[in-house]
Structure 1
Amino acid sequence: MAIYFDNSATTKPCDEAVAAVKKAVSESYGNPSSLHFLGIRAHDDLEKARRDISEALGCRFDCLYFAPSGTYANNAAIFGVWNRLKKEGNTIVTTALEHPSVLEPLKKLKESFGVNIVYLYPDKNGNIDKDELYSVINQDTILVSMMAVNNETGLILPVSEIRGAVKRAKAPAVIHSDCVQAFGKIRSSPDFLKADLMSISSHKIHGPKGAGALYVNDKKKLKPQIFGGGQENGMFPGTESTPAILGFSAAAKALPDIEQELSYIASLKKRLISQLKDCDKIVINSPENSIAYIINLSVLTMKSQPLVGYLSDKGICVSAGSACKKGKRSSTLVAMGLKPSVIDSAIRISFSRFNKECEVDALANELLNLAKRI
C-alpha cells in the first residue's frame, strides 16, 4: 500500500467523487447544450454542480465559470484582464513565488508586448513584505496577481492586503489570486481575500483531473481568450466535461469542516517536524507562516531526485518540488535566497485528510536514516 505525501501535486479522488463520475458517465452523458431530455439532464446536473462548488467557495453561482484546469483559469484571468485594460496602464504586479501557469503568461506579455512586470520577492524568512506591496502599485497598474498559498513551501501570502494598496494608489487594477492550494484548506472566499478573480482546481481537493473554475465578480473586467460555441457564457467555450465537473462538485460537497481538518493536518505536520528537528542534516525550508498541509525540507546528504526515488522504492511518495517544474531548479526556493546545496536537496511533503500518524512515522524514519549517510 502506497504512503502518499504528494497531495499538492494531485490528490486521490474521494469515494464521493468517484461515484459521481461513474454516474455521470453512465447516466448524464448528454451534451449540456442539447435540447433533448439527456441534454437537459446534463445541463441541470452541471448547474447544480456550479451551485454546490460556489457554496463551498463562498461566492455567487453565476460568477463561477468552469475551466479544464487551474492553468486554463490562470491564463484566462491574466490575458483577459490585460486585453481589457491595456489602454489604461502597462504594469502588472505579481510575486516571484507564483505557479508557472502565472509566471509564464506574464513572461509572454513582457516579451511580446512590452508589459512592465513587477515581481515582489520574499524576505529572508520567505514572506512578502506588505510595505513593498503598497510601494509598487501605482496608477499604471492594471493587474495584481498573487497566489493565496505557495505550492512548494506552503507560504500563505497577503492577498487580502492588495485591495487597500490598489485603493490608495487609485489604480485601475483587477485583483487575481491563484487559490488552487488554498481552496478547501483555509478560509479563502472572494470576500475574505477581497479578490476580483480566483482560480481553483478539482484534483487538489480529492476530485478528478480535468476540471477547474474561475471566479469572476464582474465579467466586464476581462475579455474571453478562447472562442467557440459560447459555453460558460463565452468564457471557456467548448463542451463541458460533465463527468469531471460533477466529480469536482462531489469532492467540494465532501470537504470536511476547514478548522477541524486544519487542526488534524497541523498535528501531522507537528509530529513530523518534532521527529526531524534535532537532525542537523535536515533543514526545514517552509516559513513559519505556511499552511499546515505543506512542508518543504532538505536532506543535505542526498539530492532531491535520488531522494524521491529512494522513498518511492520504500513505497513513500513525495515530490522534488512543483510537479509542473519538470525537474528544473525551484524558482521559489531560488527567490527565497536559499543556498544551492539546500535547493538541490529539497523535497516537498504535502498532507491530506487521508494520511495517518503511522505514515508520518514511517516517513520520518526513512528521512532520518538518509540523513545519517555521509
Structure 2
Amino acid sequence: MAVTLADVAARAGVSAATVSRVLSGNYPVAGATRSRVLRAVEELEYVVNGPASALAAATSDLVGVLVNDIADPFFGIMASAVQSEMEPEKAGRKLAVVCNTGGSPERELTYLTLLQRQRAAAVVLTGSAVEDEKHTAALAARLRRMAEAGTRIVLCGRPPLPEDAVAGRGDAPRSGKAGRDAGKDETEDGPAAPITVAFDNRGGARRLTEHLLALGHRRIGYVAGPVERTTTRHRLEGHRAALADHDPALLSDAEHLTVHGAYDRSSGYDGALELLRRAPDLTAVLAANDTVALGVCAALRDQGLRIPEDVSVAGFDDLPFSADAAPALTTVRIPLHEAGARAGRLALGRESAPPGGVATVRTELMARASTAPPRAD
C-alpha cells in the first residue's frame, strides 16, 4: 500500500497541513518540526505524487550520478564521463546532478529518495557497494520502486545486486525474460533490473600480485580499503588467489601482512608504518588504490627507505597522476572514462544492455618504475 501524507503526519506527530507546508517549502516551519517531518518522510520512504497517475509515472530530464567523493579523481573521472553523454546534441538536454554521498550508506539512500521524488529519468551509482544485508535490502527496494516508475538504473564499478534483493521478499525471482531483457524500460515480469558495469577487481589484483611474485618478492604487505566494501574484498581475493597459486605457504602470513583503512593518502601513510612495524623485512607493498600508494611512498621515504631499491610499491586504478609520480607508479589500469561513458549511454537507453544485464570492464597491468626485484642481502 502506498504511503500517504496522513501516514507521514502520524509518524511525525504533526498535522497533514504541516507536512504539506514542509514539502512545499512555501511557508515557514520551525526547524525542529521540519526535521521531524523530513525524518518521517525518509523512514516511510514517502514520495510526493502529482495530481494524476500519469504525472506520477512520468520522468523528468534529470539524471542522478551518485559518487562517494567528487574530489577523488576516481569518481570525478566517471562522473565527468557520464555527464559527457548528456550533452544536448547527444541526449536531448538531460541534466546530470552529481550527488556526493561521502561514502555514507544512509546518505546514498537519502539521495535516491530525493531523486525518486524528482522522477529522475535515470540514476547511475558509482563505486564499490557496502556489504551489509540490511542496507542492500533497503537499496534494492528503492531502486525497484524507481524502476517501476520508469527510471533506468545503472551500477558502475560495483557488483550486481543479489538476485533475491532485486526480486524483493515475496516476489518471484527475476529470471527468464526479465533477466534477458535487463535494461529495457519494462519486461513482462515487471520493471527492468539494474544494469551493471562491473570492474574486474579480482583479475587486476591477481595480475598485480603475480607481477611482484615474478620479480622475486615473497614478503608482500597490503594496505587494503575499508573492510565492508565490495571492492576491498574482491581485490584482496585476487591478491590471495595469486599467492595461493604460487605457494600456499605464503597465505600463512597474508592476514598478518594486511592492514585496512580508508581510500586516502593518510591511510596509506599510516598503513605502511604499521606494516613496517609488523614485518621490517617486507620487500613490497600493494596499496588499495593509487592515492593510498602515494601515502605508502611518503611513509617509506620518511623511514629512509628507497623505492623500489628497498621496497617496491604498487597501486590500483591508474589515476592521471600515477605515471608522473616519482618513481612512476606500477598499478592496474581501469578505463574509468570509458566505463563512465558507457554507463551514461546505458542510463539514457542509447546503448543495448549486455547479456544478462552485466558488463565486465577488463583491467590492465601497468608495470612502471616503482617495482623491481627485491634487494639481494
TM-score range, shorter chain: 0.3 to 0.5
Larger Rg: 2
Higher RCO by CA contacts (8 Å cutoff, separation 6 or greater): 1
TM-score (norm 1): 0.32
